[in-house]
Amino acid sequence: MDAGLQLRGIVAGYGQGDILRGLDLDVPAGQITCLIGPNGSGKSTVLRVISGLLAPTAGKVSLAGVDVTGWSPRALLTRGLAHVPQERGLFPAMSVWDNVLMGGYINADQRAVARRAAELAERFPIVARRRHELAGSLSGGEQKTVEIARTMMVDPPVLCFDEPSAGLEPRARSMIFGTLAELSRDGRTILLVEQNARSGLGIAHNGAILDAGTVRLAAPAAELLDSPDVGRLYLGAS
Amino acid sequence: MSVLLAVQGLTKSFGGVRALDGCSFEVAEGSVTALIGPNGSGKTTAFNVITGYQPADAGSLAFRGRPVRRPDPCRLQRLGLSRTFQQARVFPGLTAAENVILGRNEPWHALLRRRVAGPDRRRAEALLGEFGLAAHADTAAGRLSYGQRKLLELASVLMAEPALVLLDEPAAGINPVMVKTIEDHIRRMHARGVTFLVVEHEMKFVMRLCDPVIVLDRGRPIACDAPRKVQNDPRVLDAYLGD
C-alpha cells in the first residue's frame, strides 16, 4: 500500500482567523518528511488537521490515495495513521507496561495485545527493563521512548510526531531521533514537526518550511539544511 | 541615551531547568528594544522576574539609575514601569473605561465606591479615543474582540503614564491588520517619549519596529545589535535552528 499523505489547499484555524491558509504538502510513503518553521507558523495545526483533531474549513487530506478529510482520530488510527503529540502523554501514575498495553485499546483481542507488547519490549528494551515502574518516574527521553513504543502497539504505517525532542537534553534528543530513523527503515511514513530544524532535517529525506500558514519551500532535506532561505524565514529578513 | 533599565546577572531556575542563567542587558531610554530568542530561551521568565511576578534566584535590577530590591508589580508601576501579557489581561466584567481607569493603580477604591474623579474619567476617555475604542467606553471588556482587548490592555497600561512598557507578544494571536494597528500605536507612544521592551516571535514586526534587538539563548543574551546585523549573525541562526 502506498501510505503517503497529501494535503491540498488546507485552510484551518481556531475561532477568529485562519492559521493555515491554503497549505499544500506531500509526505511521500516510506520516508521521513520534516516540517519546520518559525513559532506560530502553523506546524502543530498541520498535524492536528491530518490526525482529525481539527477539521479544515477548506481543502483535502488524502491518505494512501483515500480522501480522509474530516475523519475522526479513531477512524484514522484504524486506517493506520497515528499522532504522537508534543506534550508528554503517558499516564504518570500507571506502570510502563500498563501504559504500553493502553496503546492497544482499539484491539479487542487481549492475547494479541499482550503478544504485541512483548514484541515491543524486545524492540524497546526500556519497556522490559522498567516495566513495573511508574511512567511518571522516567526521565523525559525515556518517557518519549515509551510513548513511541505505545504508539507502535497498533503498528501504524504512518506516524506524525509533534516536536518529539522538545525539552530533552542533547543525548536523549539524539536517542529519539535515532528511534525515528529506525522506524523509517521499516518502511513507515513519518511526518516530523520539529523546532530543532537542523536535527530534524538531519534524519529526514524531505523538508518543508512553513511560514504564515503556507509551505514556502519544499525540497530534499539535505538541500534545505544548506539553504539561506531557512534563516531568512526564521529571522524575518526580507 | 541614558540607561533606563539595567538587568545584571539575573538567574532563575525551575526544578533542574535554568530559565535565566546570569542574564544581563540594558534598555536605553527612548528605545524600542526587542528581546527575542527561540522557545524556552527565557524571555517571558525575564519579564516575570523584572516586573516582580516571580522572584529571581540571583541578580539585580536598576530602574532609572536606582536599584530595585525585591521588585513588586505595583511599586514598579508607580515608579514608571508597566507591562502587558501574552494573553491580554482585562477585567471582562468591567467596562472598557473602568479597565483603563484601573490602570492608574491608585483610585480602585474610588471606583468601587463609584466615585471616579473627573480628570481620571476624562483621561481614560481620551485614551480610549486614541485607541479607537471611544464607542466601546461603556461596553464590558469581555464583549470586545481579542484584538480590541489587546488595545484596551495597552490603553490601560498608559493610564499610569509609564516611562517604560514591557510588551509580551503584542502581535500574538491577532490578524495582520490589527498587528499593523498595534505597531502604529507603539510608534505613536514611542514618539511621545515612552520606552519599550518587546518580546515577540513575529520577526517581521520585530525587525521593522525595534532597535536594538537582544537575542536570548538558554537564559542569557548571545547578541545585541541592530536588526539587520542580528539577522545575519550566525550565532543567532544557530540558536534558532538548533545544532
Q: Structural domain boundaries of chain B?
A: 3-241
CA B210 to chain centre: 13
CATH of domain A5-87+157-235: 3.40.50.300
Query: Are A236 and B172 a contacting pair at CB < 8 A?
Result: no
Q: What is the pLDDT of residue A87?
A: 82
pLDDT above 70 as % of chain A:
98
* Distance to chain B for A196, nearest Cα, Å: 5
Give the pLDDT band (50/70/90) at residue B105. low
User: What's the grid cell of residue B50?
Assistant: 523584572
Respond yes or no on whether the N-terminal peptide bond of residue A220 is cis (omega within 30° of 0). no
Residue B129: phi, psi to the nearest 5?
-60, -45
A238 contact B CB<8A: yes
Which residues are B215's β-sheet partners? B36, B223
Give the pLDDT band (50/70/90) at residue A129. very high
Q: What is the pLDDT of residue A12?
A: 95
Distances, alpha carbon A199 to alpha carbons A162, A175, A188, in Å: 14, 12, 19
Q: How far apart are CA B47 and CA B216, in angstroms?
A: 12
User: What's the grid cell of residue A35?
Assistant: 516540517
Q: Which of B39, B146, B240 sits opposite A234 (nearest CB)?
A: B240
Reply yes or no on whether the pLDDT at A189 is more than 90: yes
Closest CA to B146 of B124, B173, B169: B173
A10 contact B CB<8A: no
Q: How far apart are CA A61 and CA A59, in angstroms?
A: 7
B82-110 average pLDDT score:
82
User: What's the grid cell of residue B137?
Assistant: 467606553
Q: Quick one: CA dihedral A214, A204, A38, B31, positive or negative?
A: negative
CB contact set of B220 (below 8 Å; sequence gap of 6+): B20, B21, B22, B23, B24, B42
Q: Residue A1, class by beta-carbon neighbours within 10 Å (0-12 exposed, 13-18 middle, 19+ buried)?
A: exposed
What is the fold, at CATH topology level, of the domain defined by B3-241?
Answer: Rossmann fold (3.40.50)
Measured between beta carbons, the chain A residues lying within 8 angstroms of B199 are none
CA A56 to chain centre: 19
CA A205 to chain centre: 15
Q: How far apart are CA B240 and CA A41, in angstroms?
A: 14
Q: How far apart are CA B184 and CA B203, in angstroms?
A: 16
Query: Are B175 and A235 a contacting pair at CB < 8 A?
Result: no
Give the pLDDT band (50/70/90) at residue B113. low
CB contact set of A89 (below 8 Å; sequence gap of 6+): A147
Q: Does pTM top 0.95 for this prediction?
A: no
Q: How far apart are CA A74 and CA B65, in angstroms?
A: 60
Give the pLDDT band (50/70/90) at residue A76. very high
Give the pLDDT band (50/70/90) at residue A39. confident
Give the pLDDT band (50/70/90) at residue B212. very high
Q: Are B131 and B185 in contact (CB under 8 A)?
A: yes
Q: Are B162 and B193 in contact (CB under 8 A)?
A: no
- 3-class secondary structure per residue, A61-87: EEECCEECCCCCHHHHHHCCEEEECCC
Closest CA to B105 of B167, B161, B152: B161
| Nearest residue in chain B measured CA to CA from A226 | B241
pLDDT above 90 as % of chain B:
70
Mode of pairing for the β-strands spanning A66-67 and A206-211:
unpaired
| Domain residue ranges in chain A | 5-87+157-235
Give tens-digit pLDDT for A202-220: 999 999 999 989 999 999 9
Those of residues 158-197 in B touching chain A at CB distance below 8 A are 172-175
Mode of pairing for the β-strands spanning A189-193 and A32-36:
parallel
